[in-house]
Amino acid sequence: MSEGNLKITPLHRVHESLGAKMVPFAGYAMPVQYPAGVKTEHLHTRAKAGLFDVSHMGQVRLTGGDAAAKLEALVPANLQALKPGEMRYTLFTDGAGGILDDLIVTNTGDHLFVVVNAACKEQDITHMRENLDCDIQVLEDRALVALQGPAAEVVLSGLAPGVAGLSFMSSGSFELAGAECFISRSGYSGEDGFEISIPADKAVEIAETLLNNDAVAPIGLGARDSLRLEAGLCLYGHDLGPETTPVEAALEWTIGKRRREEGGFPGVEVILKQLAEGAPRRRVGIRPDGRAPAREGTEIADTGSNWLGEITSGGFGPSFGGPVAMGYVASHASAVDTEINVIVRGKPLPARVVALPFVKANYKRG
């Protein structure tokens, strides 16, 4: 579906009925906020439950011919170890070790379910079609929503009781409103919650049913961004890109032990060398002193005014209660508590390197 030059999601009329402020995002008309505002939406998600429309993201089914083994040729994760219902965060890498996108891969039992970022959707699908000898089906007829927050389990259990048995990064098929939905206990807010893949023709009914619960509020892209930043989670195109390796991005945990030993993924030589010897720069958490946030693109220097790097994500953390940021600094300055300066409007302001995340994650582990 489209509106002018922008595509729309199956939940577009719900956003309009709720008074959402719509903005262009990755070729879609998406809600950036609702009348309550970004801060209220953010805090509601941390306290109760927020409903996010993430239908702009790409949903892909890979089947046939040992899809997990074949997909391993494009990512550094150990996908063949995934049991049915298990899922894994991983990365498409290129020959220089750069990150082409981050994605989630789930073993559903009879196929792999892959979710890729909206901005990279077309290139990711082309990348898979050009490099994988298996059936690749883009699921254009499904919506995707995320229900995030400490009340998410109670809310969703009222519609699909079995979801309470899922733990973080596990998944299964459940019936909602008479429709078969694929539900994973995952999300990108740092909170407990679920992502729900829904037949497009049932998306409005299910979303409105969830929103009818007093604990649930609609949440836009603005709060989604501040939530993931407080949780220390990367945004592709900002914190990640082809110029960044998994080691530089502090994502070496995504590289499976077997993959480190056997290789067989793009950029393996560069990545293994950095694992052994260290990377020239490192993604870190940054806490500016005072109340002024340091936004994306802000330069970072040491206390002697020597350039160290720049901020890639930054803003005010409503739950943290102050400015928060992530960025890349030279490795020698990446240790926690290193004193640095952020250059805001030409003026050096004191800051320091801090551990991520800024707000403790509330995932339900098995």
Entry pTM = 0.96
Q: Which two tokens stand for residue 68?
A: 């997990």
The dihedrals phi and psi of 107, each to the nearest 5 degrees, come to -90, 105
Which pLDDT tens digit goes with each residue over 177-229? 999 999 999 999 999 999 999 999 999 999 999 999 999 999 999 999 999 99
Per DSSP, what are the bridge partners of residue 322?
Answer: 317
Size of the chain in residues: 366
Delimit the domains of the chain by residue range. Answer: 2-56+140-230, 280-354
pLDDT of residue 64: 85
Is the pLDDT score of 1 beyond 60? no
Separation CA 289–CA 340 (nearest Å): 10
Q: Which two tokens stand for residue 92?
A: 């498409």
Q: Which two tokens stand for residue 53?
A: 């429309």
Is the pLDDT score of 272 beyond 60? yes
Q: Which CATH architecture has domain 2-56+140-230?
A: 2-Layer Sandwich (3.30)
The dihedrals phi and psi of 191, each to the nearest 5 degrees, come to -100, 165
Work out the percent of the chain whose per-residue pLDDT is above 70: 99
Across the chain, what does the average pLDDT equal?
97
Fold for domain 280-354?
Elongation Factor Tu (Ef-tu); domain 3 (2.40.30)
The dihedrals phi and psi of 275, each to the nearest 5 degrees, come to -60, -40
pLDDT of residue 366: 77
Q: Report, in this order, helix, strand and coil percent for the chain, each rounded to 5.
A: 25, 35, 40
Is the pLDDT score of 88 beyond 60? yes
- Mean pLDDT, rounded, for 62-72: 93
pLDDT of residue 70: 97
Separation CA 111–CA 218 (nearest Å): 32
Which pLDDT tens digit goes with each residue over 327-361? 999 999 999 999 999 999 899 999 999 999 999 99
Is the Cβ–Cβ distance between 6 and 24 less than 8 Å? yes
Q: CA geometry: angle at 156 spanning 151 and 159, to 5°?
A: 145
Are 2-56+140-230 and 280-354 in the same CATH fold? no
Is the pLDDT score of 123 beyond 90? yes
Is the pLDDT score of 2 beyond 70? no
Distance of CA 191 to the CA centre of its chain: 12
| SS3 of residue 152 by DSSP | helix
